[in-house]
Structures are given as C-alpha cells and as structure tokens.
Amino acid sequence: MAVEGPKVSRPKDKLVVEESGEYSESCAEFANKSACPSIISQYAISTRNVTNTSLLGATLPVTQCPDPFMGGPQVTDVCSASEGSLFLSLLNVLLVANPYIGDPCGRVTPIKEPDPSYDFIVVGAGAAGSVVAARLSEIDDWNVLLVEAGPDEPAGAEIPSNLQLYLGGPLDWQYKTSNESTACLSQNGRCAWPRGKNLGGTTLHHGMAYHRGHPKDYDRWVEHGAEGWSWDEVLPYYLKSENNTEIGRVSAKHHATGGPMNVERLPYQPPFAWDILNAADEAGFGVSEDLAGDKITGFTVAQTISKKGVRTTSFRSFVQPAKDRKNLHVVVNALVTKVNFIGNRAVGVSLLMNGEKIQVKAKREVVLSAGTINSPHLLLLSGVGPKKHLKSKNVPVVVDLPGVGENLHNHQSFGLDFFLKEGYYPVFNESSAEQYIENQTGAFAGTGLAQVTGVMPSNLTTPDDPDIQIFFAGYQAICTPKSNIADLSSDGKSMAVRFTSVNLRPTSRGRITLNSNNPLDPPVIWSNDMSTKHDRSVVVQGLGIILKLADTPTMKRLGLRQQNKVIPQCAHHKFGSDDYFDCAVRWDTRPENHQTGSCRIGQRSDPMAVVDPRLKVHGIKGLRVADASVQPNVVSGNPVASVNMVGERAADFIKQDWGKQTS
Ligand SMILES: Cc1cc2nc3c(=O)[nH]c(=O)nc-3n(C[C@H](O)[C@H](O)[C@H](O)COP(=O)(O)OP(=O)(O)OC[C@H]3O[C@@H](n4cnc5c(N)ncnc54)[C@H](O)[C@@H]3O)c2cc1C
C-alpha cells in the first residue's frame, strides 16, 4: 500500500526528498525492500504538513547493501518535538541513510551467538577495547571475540554537535557517585558520571578533543612503578594510531599519518571561538596552534578525533575497517558478568545475552577493557580484589588484590556562566541541518565552544608541567533534548556561554566497591572529589584565569556578563572571593568525565598495584586489563588518546608474549 508523505526519488545516484507524493515505490529503490518499512514509518509521522522544511530538496548519495543498519535510538527519540516533528523525522532519515554519517552499509555485522571458544576475549568495545580487538585480529591464526554490553552506534550520534545528546538514556550506564562530603553537594552528594554503553563506548558521546597530556605525566607513571611507560616509550604508540590530516599546521615532529584514527580540526567553529583566542592573547595567556606540539600552554581550537566533520568512535576507526576479517567476531547487547577461572588461570567469561546465560572459553587470554568503573567491578564480581570486602559480599576469593577499585580519580571542575550582548538564536536550525546533510560542514560539524580550550600552570606547579585546563560551552547546534543534559540555560534574550576551570592533577582519591554480588547491581562509586585543599585551589586559580579573560577588551566589546547566582551555603563569603569559590566548588562541582586509575599499573611488590607494566593482573594467569583504569594518574589533558595508546600497547604486549611479530 502506498503511504502519503514526502517523496523519496532517486535520480542517478542521489536521493532527493520532494515535497509531496507517494513514496512506496521509490522506497524500494532506496536501499532494499527490507529497509523500506522503517523508512516509511519515519516518514509516516510527518504526513500532515510536508511543505515547510528546507530539508525537502536535500540530496544524498545512495549505497546499497542487503542489510542496512538503521538502529536507534533515533533523533526523534532523543530530541523533544519542540523543533518540529516533521523536521526531526526527515533529518533522521537523511542521517541514517547517508553513507558518510549513518553509513548503513559499512557496519560490522555482529554475530548472533558467540562460538564456544576463542583465542582471545576482549570485554568492552570502547576507546581501548576496540583497539585491542582490531590489532589482535591482525594475526590470521588467532580468533578474537569482542563483547559489548550495548548496541551499535545510532546515526544521529555521529553528528559532532550532538555531543552528549544520547547520554541519560539506554546508551549510558547512568552511574552516580554516592556519599560525597566535598563534591556535588547541591545534588545531595551524588555526582553524575555518564559512561557509554554501545559500540565505541564513551567515544560515541565525548567531545572528541585530541590531547595527550605532556611528558611529565608519564614520568610520574614511571615513578609509580609503570616501568616502560615513559614519554619516549609511549609516543610511538600515539603515532601508530594517528592519521593527522593537518600536518603543516601541526608539526610532523609530533604527529603522524597513516594510522586508523583520523585527527583533524572540525570544519566549523562559531565566531566566538576565535574571540576567545583573541581574548587569551590580550590577557597574555598566549595562543597555541597545537597543545600536543611544542607549545603545551595557551589557548587553542583543539584538534578532534573525527573525519571530515563526522564523529569517528574508536570502534569506527579501528574495528569497522576490519569488518571482513573472519577471525574477528563482535557480539552486542551482551553483558559479561564474570571472568571464569580454573585455579588462578582465567579460562573464559560468563555473559548474559538475550536473557540467556552463556559461557565462552578463552584459549589464551581474557582482556578487560570495560572502563574505569566496570573493569574493577568485573574483577570484584569474579573474586579478584580485597579479600575482606569480597567475603563480606559472599564472593569466593580467587586472589586477594587490595588495589582493585582503589586510586579512583577524575578531573574536577567548576563553571562560570555568562551572557553575551548578542541576541539569542537557536544554533540548531534547518539550514544548519541541510548544510550538514549536503556536505558535513556548518554548525552541526562543530561542537560549538567545546572545541576551544586552554592549558595553563597554577602556582603549585612549573610552566613545563601545567595543571589547569579551561573548557568552554555554548553555541552548540543541539536540539532540545528529552533528557536534561543541556544545563547551560539561556534567558531567551542573549546567547549564553560557560567557561569552566578544571584541575588536571587531582590528589583526591576515591574507590569502587561492590554493592552486592549481583552483576546487574551497579557498583558503589565514591569519588571523594575536591577533598584536598590542593584540588580546590587549582580550580580556584583557574577561575582567576577565566575572570581575566572576561575582563579583556574583546570580551567587554562582546558584552560578556556573569550570570552565576550566589550559592546560599557559601553566601557568608564575599561573592567571587577565593574563599567563596573554595566553598562553591564543593556545591556545584562539575566532574569531568575522565575517570582513571582504579586498576593501576605497578610492580608486584606494590600492594596496591593491580596490573604489572605489561598489563597482566597480578597473581592471575591469562588475564589483562587495558583501558583508562590502568593509568596510575590521569594525564594532564583530555585523556582518550592516552586510552587508545594503552590499547595499542596491550595488543603489542600480547603479540610479543605469544611470540608474534608486532607491526
Ligand atoms: C561527555 C564526555 C565528554 C568527553 N570528552 C572527551 C574529549 O573531548 N576528549 C577526550 O580525550 N576524552 C573525553 N572524554 C573521556 C573519554 O571518552 C574516556 O576517557 C574514554 O572513552 C575511556 O575509555 P575506556 O576504554 O576506558 O572506556 P569506554 O570508552 O567507556 O569503553 C568501555 C566499554 O566497555 C563496555 N562494557 C563495560 N562493562 C561491560 C560488560 N560487563 N560487558 C560488556 N561490555 C562492557 C561499555 O559498554 C563500553 O562500551 C569524555 C567523556 C564523556 C562522558
């Protein structure tokens, strides 16, 4: 039966969305017949008024394949209808079908059920796990299973400006810390810690900023017993992953081409991004072309992990190109509940899939890449952790390892919100959508001000070891979300922006423990953020940098005016004084999302070390951890590239230990 609605026709190799008509037959041409019902159902929402959108007339190239990926959540599931349901429906279809964005024919086909055994099982398809699985499957005579608890990546999340839009729903573990006495007090001592639960892990949701910290970070790792992890030893692994498309603007001395992960500057920055750099120059903070280059302090428009204006998750960068390898299986919506042991050797995992409990054997090794919260959680559930705690939760002890879940830390921050003289307008609009669909440029191809950043030293460090980062938010082309992630509020009259001061070297340490021995129960997360004077002081000094930026001729010309309200519990201090901020950072704490350290590297003689420098779990055979949790200290900058680097190193350690050549 024909369905009334906008017509999708196909002249030559393009789809064109026309104003009206019947589109059931054109739909048959779209990709294949099985794709049609879902396309029709997208359009069916919009049969009432089909004339009013600039997306009508948008064109897109067509690819054909037997089983195109069209999975959700769809844009219409995550955006409220305030931008118009017709517009959102059309946008969704055009995103899903676009080979550069939704890439419906380029996806990995997950297997329906894993084989009984594999050489290697990698748990978690995030920043590190994607790298480990892709690299191990380069060895033809090994077979590899990559297990992911969540589903494939929805098309809408590949738009850079949709950063964070899909958090708060089914693609988010939705963790919250508890019992904080020095952080998130305005939220009753519970900080929200979103984490991605999908192929790509948290790299489907993050800001994509490419940074590596700086050499002193790695000196500190070595001091903690991470022998072999000095800057000179890790740098080749950053370069191995990288395909930098801006060599020339950034230096070939620091960057590489030819790796699987594209690094670029996003095609779009709002003009205010450049105003910030002018202000930084006026304030004497300096501008750097590349904070991962020679000049590690100053302000910049950061490079991002993206390709021609489209997000590329670690899964998309590393695993998707390997999709035709017969020796790499990917399984989705499969929760690993436990590592299985015979004695102290890991021999496989138990997982929950389609309501069924399945056991899969690992002939060589299991690699946990489930992230800073879930890797220690899995170790504890499996009997690897502090003996007393495990016994108290009725978990049989395999190895007494007191460091599991300890040393948990994160970058911590506090934001100052401002209004500008510029009148308010929605950055998410139809012409931006149309431009993005056509050629992946315009406001959708940027992250607003999130791509602008500055790194500076506080007075507690030295200039070659900076410890403050300034982040920005605003001008993000994002729909009105159904979840409450958009917390930067406008008064509807003026544009609103946020400048955030981040402590890059937290000394506060928290921990992860079991709530119960039920793997479906989230762990207890206690961040203990902002518990040291040092940590608060670094954030407060960063706020001083922000206030200097705000006081520059450029910012005055733009009419920047602060909009933060006095926090009642801190009102006994003079508003804006250091004492006021020392109080305020505990109430309106903004945890960054750079959780690290809960399974840290260290020597066997160190009782709190969880893995050795080759990432093998102490006291266990056949089990490694490779993700952000192994880093002894979070790097002084955006961490994801450092997590990819851990994945690269893990794969090489494994290849070397099993007598294979490394590339
Ligand atoms: C909003 C936000 C913005 C960010 N912005 C940036 C940025 O701009 N730049 C930057 O460098 N960093 C950024 N980060 C941080 C960065 O994304 C993380 O540091 C990085 O993704 C951590 O990598 P990981 O491999 O340790 O974990 P993840 O990437 O989270 O991967 C872990 C994977 O394991 C899966 N998993 C967990 N448990 C199980 C289980 N039991 N069974 C099966 N699978 C499981 C998860 O579902 C997930 O897919 C941001 C983070 C957030 C949340």
**N-to-C CA span, the chain:** 56
Cis peptide before 73 (omega within 30 of 0): yes
What ipTM score was computed for the predicted complex, to two decimals? 0.99
Q: Which atom of ligand 1 is nearest to the CA of 126?
A: 31
pTM score above 0.90? yes
Rg (CA), the chain: 25
DSSP secondary structure, 87-121, as one string: HHHHHHHHHHH-TTTT-TTS-----SS--SEEEEE
246 contacts: CB under 8 Å, gap ≥ 6:
255, 263, 264, 265, 303
pLDDT digits (tens, 9 = 90+) for 219-258: 999 999 999 999 999 999 999 999 999 999 999 999 999 9
Is residue 500 in contact with ligand 1, taking CB distance under 6 Å?
no
- What pLDDT sits at residue 24? 35
Is residue 370 in contact with ligand 1, taking CB distance under 6 Å?
yes
Q: How many CB atoms lie within 10 A of CB 152?
A: 22
Ligand 1, atom 35, residue with closest C-alpha: 124
- What pLDDT sits at residue 58? 62
Dihedral pair phi/psi, residue 404, rounded to 5°: -65, 125
CA distance 285 to 299: 7
If we measure between CA atoms, which residue out of 226, 201, 311 comes closest to residue 263? 311
Please, which pLDDT band fits residue 212 given cuts at 50, 70 and 90?
Answer: very high
307 vs 49: which has the higher pLDDT? 307
Ligand 1, atom 48, residue with closest C-alpha: 201
Q: Which residue out of 177, 206, 599, 601 has the highest number of ligand 1 atoms within 8 Å of its CB and is therefore the one to mutate? A: 206
CA distance 663 to 649: 11
pLDDT digits (tens, 9 = 90+) for 549-568: 999 999 999 999 998 889 99
CA distance 423 to 281: 26
Please, which pLDDT band fits residue 484 given cuts at 50, 70 and 90?
Answer: low
Which of 255, 377, 594, 618 does the annotation list as catalytic?
A: 594
Give the distance (Å) from ligand 1 centre to CA of residue 201: 5
Please, which pLDDT band fits residue 32 given cuts at 50, 70 and 90?
Answer: very low
Q: Which residue has the tokens 């109430």?
A: 587
Ligand 1, atom 12, residue with closest C-alpha: 640
- What pLDDT sits at residue 490? 78
Was 331 annotated as part of a binding site?
A: no
Is residue 203 in contact with ligand 1, taking CB distance under 6 Å?
yes
Please, which pLDDT band fits residue 49 given cuts at 50, 70 and 90?
Answer: very low
**Are the beta carbons of 587 and 569 closer than 8 angstroms?**
yes
pLDDT digits (tens, 9 = 90+) for 312-366: 999 999 999 999 999 999 999 999 999 999 999 999 999 999 999 999 999 999 9
Is residue 466 in contact with ligand 1, taking CB distance under 6 Å?
no
Give the distance (Å) from ligand 1 centre to CA of residue 243: 21
Is residue 149 in contact with ligand 1, taking CB distance under 6 Å?
yes
Task: Reply yes or no on whether the pLDDT at 662 is more than 60.
Answer: yes
DSSP secondary structure, 459-518, as one string: TTS-TTS--EEEEEE-------BSSS-------SSEEEEEEEEEESS----BEEE-S-S-
**What is residue 607's DSSP assignment?**
T
Tell me the torsion sign for CA atoms 290, 204, 233, 410: positive
- What pLDDT sits at residue 285? 98
Give the strand pairing for 590-591 and 412-423: antiparallel
Please, which pLDDT band fits residue 61 given cuts at 50, 70 and 90?
Answer: low
- What pLDDT sits at residue 43? 35
Is residue 207 in contact with ligand 1, taking CB distance under 6 Å?
yes
Was 461 annotated as part of a binding site?
A: no
205 is catalytic: no
pLDDT digits (tens, 9 = 90+) for 117-136: 999 999 999 999 999 999 99
- What pLDDT sits at residue 82? 83
pLDDT digits (tens, 9 = 90+) for 139-155: 999 999 999 999 999 99
If we measure between CA atoms, which residue out of 122, 149, 219, 147 comes closest to residue 654? 122
- What pLDDT sits at residue 663? 81
85 contacts: CB under 8 Å, gap ≥ 6:
45, 46, 76
Please, which pLDDT band fits residue 42 given cuts at 50, 70 and 90?
Answer: very low
Dihedral pair phi/psi, residue 57, rounded to 5°: 105, -15
Is residue 196 in contact with ligand 1, taking CB distance under 6 Å?
yes
Average of per-residue pLDDT across 280-302: 97
Ligand 1, atom 37, residue with closest C-alpha: 370
Average of per-residue pLDDT across 175-204: 98
Dihedral pair phi/psi, residue 579, rounded to 5°: -65, -40
Domains of the chain: 110-158+195-244+311-408+594-662 (3.50.50.60)
CA distance 663 to 134: 13
Task: Reply yes or no on whether the pLDDT at 270 is more than 60.
Answer: yes
Is residue 338 in contact with ligand 1, taking CB distance under 6 Å?
no
Lowest mean pLDDT among 87-96, 276-285, 585-594: 87-96
Q: Which residue out of 131, 153, 176, 202 has the highest number of ligand 1 atoms within 8 Å of its CB and is therefore the one to mutate? A: 202
Give the distance (Å) from ligand 1 centre to CA of residue 129: 10
Give the distance (Å) from ligand 1 centre to CA of residue 428: 26
Q: What's the whole-number average pLDDT of the chain?
A: 91
Helix 231-241 × helix 640-657 angle, to 10°: 100
